[in-house]
Amino acid sequence: MNITWLDKIENFLSGIFSNIKLVEKGLLGLEGSYVELLTVLSLGLLAVIPVLVPRKNRQFWRHVNQVFGIAIFIFVVFTCLGVFGMIRNFYRGLNEIGRENIIALYYCSVPVTILVTSMLFGPAFCGWICPTGALQEFMSVFTRKQTLEHKKNGYAFSYKLFVTAIFVAVVFLLWMYRLSVTRLFFIEDASIYWSEVLIILLFALVFRMPQWDLKLRRLRILSFAIIVVGAIMSLRITSPVHFGFAKVYDPASFLSTVIVALSALVIPMVWCRYLCPWRCAIAWAAKHTVRKIEFDESKCVKCLKCNDACLLDAVDQGIINVDECHMCFKCVDICPAQCFSLKDNWKKDEK
Amino acid sequence: MRNKLFFQISISIGLLLSPITVISAEWYSGRGTGEGKASIIYSGDRELNEWHYIYKSNRRYKPGLAVWASPALAVVGGHPMAFIGGYDQTMHALDLVEKNVVWRKITNGEIQSAPAIAKVDGADVVFWGSADRTVYAYSAFSGRKLWTRELIEPSSTLGQIFISSPYIHGNNLYISCFAYDKSIPRNEQRGFLFCLDTKTGDIRFRLAVSTGILSDPVGFEIDGRQYIAVCARRGLLQCFDVNADMPNKVWEYQMPHEVLASPVVTVDTDPPMLYLGSKYGNFTAVNARNGKEVWQKMAGNWIDNSASIGEINGRKTVFVGSHDYCVYSFDAQTGNLNWKKPVGGEVFSTPTFFRVDGEPYICIASLDNHLYIIDAKNGIIFNSYFTGNPIWDKLPKGEYLWGSPASIEAGADTCIVYGSFNDMVYSIPIMKPCAITAMARSVKSLWISLLAVFLIFCGIIMPVVLKIPR
């Protein structure tokens, strides 16, 4: 039997994912340590950082927070921060209430912490913690010049981005071919369909971005509905980046992660814009947040730097669309006239 | 005495009521014979159907531990039966034809290994060890007690106990037991090999073999002499001549790394060989006469569990699963790789080897929560079954042995019996439609499903989403 170099890569990957939980493995042996609750602690701390860091060098600290978030959830605690897994685990946690309360708390704690911190501090989870978002943001740096030019041209057709989209599609098809002949696929591996849809969207948007961009963002609701129905039907669908949290080499999840990362080269934050199911819940919480970015139009010099800085097109001449905002504060930090300010409305106006 | 008399009467009645009792394969150990196939033959005319058995006892599982140990199968009273214990501290005797529980016996400790079924005075008796340091012998048919024997003296400072699956030869029952006494004056970590009388439970000998946990003992006969091999967790494989009153160590072999599995043996190769896998993936064949290594192969990751040995085209073949997601088939004599098959997760179970209409198959359990039926000749996956998510989300890998499947060869009624870590014991007829058949896709259907998603998304979803007014 011939072992190909692809076999060697797969064996290597399965090897490195088999034992990456550096801290929890040691602590698990301590009965009653409730090490699971490290998750809540970590997440709570990461969510408070956006409030604490000074305005100066805020973007640097944001990236540090993102890297730290990825590291702690991959190497330390066992909690799926994958966008599908959080919804599924929340439902599972609800079912455990009254049976295994610690387990119930463990499963419910992550989504509840994210929603609560989103209501307190705004949707900072997306901009400061989410590993999927951070991965896309880091990837988009490589094609930032092209995508910014694309944006300034009103998203007119771009050959460069079209070729990049073809490259992403080819990677997906070749990888799928390889996986299809080496392993069986199960319902858990349905994240490949999200990858497929993401590639279809890339092609659609390369041609029709100005007309279809906002309308296609509604797909997030459909994505959310499918995952909720799947959770209720006990279908375990693993999300992109899940393999990083779960300590197992999950080829379908790994492929989906690669496709999400490569797609971000064509359209920055493409997963968050069109397919992230978790964004529906966070957008709802963000509408009720007590911490908001306010815009003073009278100071605006119409330089449009805030428009250019926002990877999600959530800012239009200073007006922020809260359904899309990730609370990354790029617009706030880049504004030369300091038109933006943070307001904490802890007490609603009483009329 | 009264118990024994009652036991014999109940056995006699059982035998009278069941004139077609068939013990088609002799059971010596938890995995059948020393070859570890874990398969029996059933030639009765009763149909075997799908059954999902669950039992909610009041005992609380320890988080992270597997739920069920491996089952042992036997045809008792004309019916194929499964005997399976678990971390609910209970031994369950399941009638796979009638789909009911014949009897249950609660012990005072977890049952970590498969029981063994053997004849005592012509009657089928189930033997098992429990973490309460005791060996139990009960009638397979009625669940009446024959005897129990405490192996280690109780003490308030005793820590965790590991007790193996029994191995029975003639009137001798061999079993290993590890106990850790944490007190300073009695600070003792000893792994003992015991030999008990199968009729009375009397201890014939007790031998300190290691300072650590021991594997299941495995027995074999070479040149008319009986040998027992047992491997310590730290990788020391030892072989004892057990023909005299006290065993005599014949040889020892140090495995390259830690070992969780138990050795399997075949005497049909030249020389007779023992096979054992270790952490880091070394799979070794050892000459059973002298303990010399005959060949060694590497898997891509840990080998947790034991191998099993079957016969393909007249040649002995050894099958083993690894944490590198693969099942391996090696020629037992030469160690040549016949095939290697990746599945969807770490292969943690021992394969069970069986035949359907003369065609050889193996069945393995994987950490992707599926059972796979694999054609033993070429490694092609015949079918797979979804056996549920673990009841604990954080099963520590490489520290415990989880239950493995066993099989009943019965032609069109061929069945797999498996205690899954989702709390269920499954009896799965593999040649019939089954509710838990996995929704695994073939290569063709995978591409068809991708095409279907493309058409549905482009033809329905995207137009509808674009049409809805804001």
pLDDT bracket for residue B102 (50, 70, 90): very high
Do A142 and A279 lie in a common domain?
yes
pLDDT bracket for residue A52 (50, 70, 90): confident
How many Å lie between the alpha carbon of A346 and the closest alpha carbon of chain B?
32
> What tokens appear for B211 in the block?
């300072």
Residue A190 is classified by DSSP as G
Do A69 and A157 lie in a common domain?
no
pLDDT bracket for residue B64 (50, 70, 90): very low
**Residue where one domain finishes, among candidates A113, A130, A147:** A130
Q: pLDDT at position B334, please?
A: 95
Whether B465 and A216 lie within 8 Å, measured CB to CB: yes
**Residue where one domain finishes, among candidates A259, A283, A307:** A283
* CB contact set of A338 (below 8 Å; sequence gap of 6+): A299
Do A79 and A124 lie in a common domain?
yes
Residue B218 has pLDDT above 90, yes or no: yes
Digit-coded pLDDT (tens) for A93-123: 787 777 666 667 777 888 888 888 888 888 8
Q: pLDDT at position A344, please?
A: 80
Q: pLDDT at position B14, please?
A: 44
> What tokens appear for A43 in the block?
């997440």
User: Can you tell me the distance from the alpha carbon of B129 to that of B139, in angstroms, rounded to the nearest whole number?
Assistant: 15
Phi-psi bin for B325: left (phi > 0), alpha (psi -120 to 50), beta?
Answer: left
Which of A203-212, A243-252, B17-26, B106-115 is predicted with the least confidence, judged by mean pLDDT?
Answer: B17-26
Q: Does B304 map to a domain?
A: yes
Tell me the angle at which helices A159-182 and B443-456 cross, rounded to the nearest 10 degrees.
Answer: 150
Q: pLDDT at position B373, please?
A: 93
**Residue where one domain finishes, among candidates A107, A130, A153:** A130
Mean pLDDT of B105-132: 91
Mean pLDDT of A243-260: 75
User: Can you tell me the distance from the alpha carbon of B326 to that of B367, in angstroms, rounded to the nearest whole number?
Assistant: 11
> What tokens appear for B57 in the block?
């006892």
ipTM of predicted complex: 0.87
Handedness of CA A168, A169, A172, A173 (dihedral sign): negative
Portion of chain A with pLDDT greater than 70, in percent: 78
> What tokens appear for B329 in the block?
């088939």
Residue B279 has pLDDT above 60, yes or no: yes
The CA-to-CA distance between both ends of chain A, in Å, stands at 79
Q: pLDDT at position B393, please?
A: 58
- Residue numbers of the domain that contains A319: 290-344
Handedness of CA B73, B77, B79, B84 (dihedral sign): negative
Chain A interface, best mutation among B364, B369, B392, B393, by max A CB count within 10 A: B393
Q: Does A351 map to a domain?
A: no
- Residue numbers of the domain that contains B305: 2-461
Q: CB neighbours (10 Å) of residue A339? A: 19
Looking at per-residue confidence, does A109 or B66 come out higher?
A109
Q: Is A110 helix (H, G, I), strand (E, B) or coil?
A: helix
* Chain A touched by B367 (CB under 8 Å): yes
Digit-coded pLDDT (tens) for B124-160: 999 999 998 999 999 999 999 999 999 988 877 777 7
Do A97 and A117 lie in a common domain?
yes
Beta strand A291-295 pairing with B79-85: unpaired
Burial class (CB in 10 A: 0-12, 13-18, 19+), A135: buried
Report the number of distinct structural domains present in chain B.
Answer: 1
Which of A36-45, A56-65, B212-221, B261-270 is predicted with the least confidence, judged by mean pLDDT?
Answer: A36-45
Average pLDDT taken over every residue of chain A = 82
Q: Does A262 map to a domain?
A: yes
Chain A residues with beta carbon closer than 8 angstroms to that of B449: 193
Q: Does B470 map to a domain?
A: no
Whether B439 and A222 lie within 8 Å, measured CB to CB: no
CATH number at residue A294: 3.30.70.20
Mean pLDDT of B418-442: 83
Contact B376, B361 (CB under 8 A): yes
Mean pLDDT of B291-314: 92
Whether A215 and B454 lie within 8 Å, measured CB to CB: no
User: Can you tell me the distance from the alpha carbon of B288 to that of B266, in angstroms, rounded to the nearest whole number?
Assistant: 9
Q: How would you list the strands of the sheet with B370-375, edge to edge?
A: B352-356, B359-366, B370-375, B381-386
> What tokens appear for A109 in the block?
């704690």
Whether A188 and B368 lie within 8 Å, measured CB to CB: yes
User: Can you tell me the distance from the alpha carbon of B47 to that of A280, in angstroms, rounded to the nearest whole number?
Assistant: 52
pLDDT bracket for residue B433 (50, 70, 90): confident
Looking at per-residue confidence, does A313 or B26 come out higher?
A313
Contact B451, A201 (CB under 8 A): no
Residue among B300, B302, B367 minimizing CB distance to A11: B300
How many Å lie between the alpha carbon of A183 and the closest alpha carbon of chain B?
6
A90 phi and psi, to 5 degrees? -60, -45
Digit-coded pLDDT (tens) for B195-215: 999 999 999 999 999 988 999
Q: Does B152 map to a domain?
A: yes
A109 phi and psi, to 5 degrees? -65, -40
Digit-coded pLDDT (tens) for B358-395: 999 999 999 878 899 999 998 888 888 888 877 765 55
Percentage helix, strand, coil for chain B under 3-state DSSP, each rounded to 5: 10, 45, 45
Mean pLDDT of B229-243: 94
CATH number at residue B427: 2.130.10.10
Digit-coded pLDDT (tens) for A276-289: 988 888 888 888 88
Do A166 and A275 lie in a common domain?
yes
Average pLDDT taken over every residue of chain B = 86
Q: pLDDT at position B22, please?
A: 33
Q: pLDDT at position B285, please?
A: 97
Do A37 and A156 lie in a common domain?
no
Residue B265 has pLDDT above 90, yes or no: yes
Report the number of distinct structural domains present in chain A.
Answer: 3
Q: Does B245 map to a domain?
A: yes
Contact A320, A331 (CB under 8 A): yes
Q: How many CA atoms lie within 13 Å of A321's alpha carbon, on the beta-carbon side?
A: 14
Do A296 and A235 lie in a common domain?
no
Q: Does A125 map to a domain?
A: yes
Looking at per-residue confidence, does B27 or B423 come out higher?
B423
Chain B residues with beta carbon closer than 8 angstroms to that of A193: 449-450, 453
Q: Does A122 map to a domain?
A: yes
Residue among A28, A183, A218 minimizing CB distance to B344: A183
User: Can you tell me the distance from the alpha carbon of B19 to that of B286, in angstroms, rounded to the nearest whole number?
Assistant: 43
Q: Does A94 map to a domain?
A: yes
Looking at per-residue confidence, does B312 or B346 come out higher?
B312
Q: pLDDT at position B216, please?
A: 94
Do A271 and A186 lie in a common domain?
yes
Q: Does A254 map to a domain?
A: yes
Whether the upstream peptide bond of residue B271 has omega within 30° of 0, thus cis, is: yes
Whether B337 and A182 lie within 8 Å, measured CB to CB: no
Q: pLDDT at position A247, please?
A: 52
Whether B323 and A25 lie within 8 Å, measured CB to CB: no
Looking at per-residue confidence, does B224 or A185 come out higher?
B224
Residue B67 has pLDDT above 70, yes or no: yes
Q: Which residue has the tokens 């040691």?
A: A26
Contact A291, A122 (CB under 8 A): yes
Portion of chain B with pLDDT greater than 70, in percent: 88
Q: Does A13 map to a domain?
A: no
Looking at per-residue confidence, does B257 or B332 come out higher?
B332
Q: Which of residues 100-139 of B touch A (CB under 8 A)?
A: none
Residue A24 has pLDDT above 60, yes or no: no
Q: pLDDT at position A40, please?
A: 75
Q: CB neighbours (10 Å) of residue B142? A: 20
Digit-coded pLDDT (tens) for A132-175: 899 999 999 999 999 999 999 899 998 999 999 999 999 999 98
Q: How would you list the strands of the sheet with B264-266, edge to edge?
A: B264-266, B273-277, B282-287, B293-298
Whether B394 and A78 lie within 8 Å, measured CB to CB: yes
> What tokens appear for B139 in the block?
């009638």
Position B222, amino acid: I
Q: pLDDT at position B383, please?
A: 84
Looking at per-residue confidence, does B331 or B469 come out higher?
B331
A336 phi and psi, to 5 degrees? -70, -25
Q: Where are the alpha helices (DSSP H) in B285-419?
A: none
Do A162 and A99 lie in a common domain?
no
User: Can you tell me the distance from the alpha carbon of B269 to that of A201, in angstroms, rounded to the nearest whole number?
Assistant: 60
User: pTM value?
Assistant: 0.64
Phi-psi bin for B365: left (phi > 0), alpha (psi -120 to 50), beta?
Answer: beta
